[in-house]
Amino acid sequence: MTSALIGLALGFLIGAGCRWFDLPLPAPPRIVGALLVVAMTLGFLGADVALAELLRPA
C-alpha cells in the first residue's frame, strides 16, 4: 500500500513539475492513451495482488 501511495505522489509531482516548467507531459496527449496507461497500471497492480495471494504460505 505504501508503494502505491508513493507512486501516486511521484506521479503528481512529475506532472506538477512538467506544468510548472512548461515541459511536455510524459504521457499520451489523448484520452484513449491516458486510459491505456491507467489500464496497464491497474493490470500491473492486480497481477501483483494476485501473485502475492498465490505465493502466500498457507
Q: Give yes or no for a contact between 37 and 28, defined as CB atoms under 8 angstroms apart.
A: yes
In degrees rounded to 5, what are phi and psi of residue 12? Answer: -65, -40
pLDDT tens-digit map of 1-58: 788 788 778 878 887 787 788 877 666 778 887 887 888 888 888 888 888 888 888 7
pLDDT value of residue 3: 81
The grid coordinates of residue 10 equal 511521484
Strands (E), 1-58: none
* Helix, strand, coil percent values for the chain (each to nearest 5): 75, 0, 25
pLDDT score of 36: 79
- Alpha carbon separation from 46 to 19, 30, 41 (Å, rounded): 30, 24, 8
Single pTM value for the model: 0.51
